Structure 1
Amino acid sequence: MSRRIWLRSLIFLKTMTRAKSSNFMFSRFVDNTYAAPVRKNLDRLVWGRLISNACYRFAPPFIAVIARGLDVSVAQMGVALMIGEFAGLGSPILGRLVDRGNRITSMTIGMVAITLGVIGAATATTLVQFAISMFFMSGAKVLFDTALIVWVNDHVEYERRGRIVGVIETSWALSLFIGVAIMGIATALISWRAGFIVGAIGMAITGCLIVSALPRDEAHAPVRTEVRGSVPRNGYFVFASAFLLMGASQCLGITFGPWFEDEFGFSSAALIAVVIVLGLFELVSSIGSSRVTDTWGKEISVRRGAILMVIATVAMATAPHVSFVAVPMLVLFIMGFEFALVSMLPLAANIVPNSGGIGLGLTVGAGTCGRAIFSTVATSLYDSVGPVGPALAAVALSAITVMLISLYARSVR
Structure 2
Amino acid sequence: MTATADESAALAAAALPKLTLGKWIANTALRWVPPFLPTLEKAFGASTTQLTTILGASEIAGLSTVAVGRHLDRGRERIVLLAGLVAVIVASLVALVGTTFTFAIGSVLVIMGVANITVAGHSFISSRVPYERRARTIGVYETSWALALLIGAPIIAVLISIFGWRGPYVTIAVVAAIVTIVVARSAAITRPPRPDAGADEAPSIVPPPGKISAVTGRAWLTIAGAAFVAMAGLSVFAISGSWLDDAFGVPTGGLGAVAMGFGAVELLSSLSSAAFADRIGKLRGTVSALMLLIVGAVVMLLADSTLWIGVVGILLFLCGFEFAIVTSFSLVSEAMPSARGTTLALSNGIGTVARGTATIVGGWLYGIHGVSGTLTLSIGAATLSAIAFTASRSRFSRP
Q: Of 163, 166, 172, which residue of structure 2 is paired with 1:190?
A: 163
Shift of 1:409: 1.6
Given that 2:20 and 2:141 are in contact with CA atoms closer than 8 Å, whether structure 1 keeps it comes out as: yes
Distance 1:125 1:261 in 2: 23
Moved more, 308-317 or 140-149: 308-317
Please tell me whether the aligned partners of residues 235 and 351 of structure 1 are also in contact (alpha carbons under 8 angstroms).
yes
Q: 1:144 to 1:57 in 2, by over 3 A?
A: same
Q: Partners in 2 of 1:216 and 1:370 — Cα distance?
A: 30
| Correspondences of 1:153-172 after superposition (within 5 Å) | 153-172=126-145
Give the superposition deviation at 1:382: 3.5
Pairs within 5 Å for 1:147-296: 147-215=120-188, 218-219=191-192, 222=195, 228=208, 230-264=214-248, 266-296=250-280
Q: Secondary structure at the match of 1:219?
A: coil
- The match for 2:316 among 332, 352, 373 is 332
**Pairwise CA distance, 1:376:** 3.4
SS state at 2:178 partner: helix
Higher relative contact order (CA 8 A, sep 6+): 2
Following TM superposition, by how much is the alpha carbon of 1:171 offset from its aligned partner in structure 2, in angstroms? 0.9
Identity value in percent: 27
1:93 corresponds in structure 2 to 67
- Cα 1:220–1:119 change in 2 (3 A) is farther
Query: Secondary structure of the residue that 2:337 maps to in structure 1?
Result: coil
3-state SS in 2 of match to 1:354: helix
> Could you tell me the TM-score, scaled by structure 1's length?
0.82
Question: What is the aligned partner in structure 2 of residue 102 from structure 1?
Answer: 76
1:46 aligns with 2:26: no
Distance in 2 (CA, whole Å) between partners of 1:137 and 1:305 is: 28
5 Å-filtered alignment, 1:130-149, equals 130-149=103-122
**CA offsets, 1:184-225, max 9 Å, x none?**
433332243342121112112122222212336623684899
Q: How does 1:25-36 map to 2 (within 5 A)?
A: 35-36=9-10
Quote the offset at 1:282 in angstroms: 0.5
Tell me if structure 1 keeps the 8 A contact 2:15–2:188: no
Moved more, 90-99 or 145-154: 90-99
CA 1:182–1:403: 2 relative to 1, 3 Å:
same
Among 394, 404, 408, which residue is 2:378 paired with?
394
The alpha-carbon deviation at position 249 of structure 1 amounts to 1.5
Structure 2 counterpart SS, 1:228: coil
Q: Deviations over 1:222-266 (max 9, x none)?
A: 489986253111222222212221222133323444544555555
Letter in 1 for 2:20: V
Identify the residue that residue 5 of structure 1 maps to in structure 2.
none
| Alpha-carbon distance in structure 1 between the residues aligned to 2:284 and 2:310 | 27
| Alignment correspondent of 2:292 | 308
Specify whether residues 127 and 323 from structure 1 end up closer, same or farther in structure 2 by C-alpha distance, changes over 3 A only.
closer
**Gap change, CA 1:189 and 1:369, over 3 Å in 2:** same
Instruction: Give the TM-score taking structure 2 as reference length.
Output: 0.84
Corresponding pairs, count: 381
1:247, 1:371 within 8 Å by CA — same for their partners in 2? yes
Which secondary structure does the structure 2 equivalent of 1:254 belong to?
Answer: helix
CA deviation map 1:102-157 (0-9, x unaligned): 222222222223222322223x3543333223212321222222112111122211
RMSD of Structure 2 on Structure 1 (CA): 3.0
Quick one: distance in 1 between partners of 2:256 and 2:197?
50
Q: Which residue identity is paired with 1:339?
A: F
Deviations 1:31-87 (A, max 9, x none): x99833223222222111111111112333444444555565555444433332221
Answer whether contact 2:230 2:354 (CA < 8 A) is retained: yes
Partner of 1:11: none
Contact kept, 8 Å, 2:56 with 2:355, in 1: the verdict is: no
- In structure 2, relative to structure 1, the CA distance for the partners of 1:399 and 1:126 (3 Å cut) is closer
Listed as ranges, the gaps of 5+ residues in structure 2 are 1-5, 199-205
- Counterpart Cα distance in 2 of 1:73 and 1:263: 16
Q: How does 1:112-123 map to 2 (within 5 A)?
A: 112-122=86-96
2:282 matched to 1:298? yes
**Aligned residue number for residue 4 of structure 1:** none
Aligned partner letter, 2:334: N
Aligned to 1:346: 330
Q: Aligned partners of 2:244 and 2:83: how far apart in 1?
A: 41
Contact 1:231 1:351 in 2 (8 A): no
Secondary structure class of the residue paired with 2:29: helix
Separation in 2, partners of 1:76, 1:389: 17
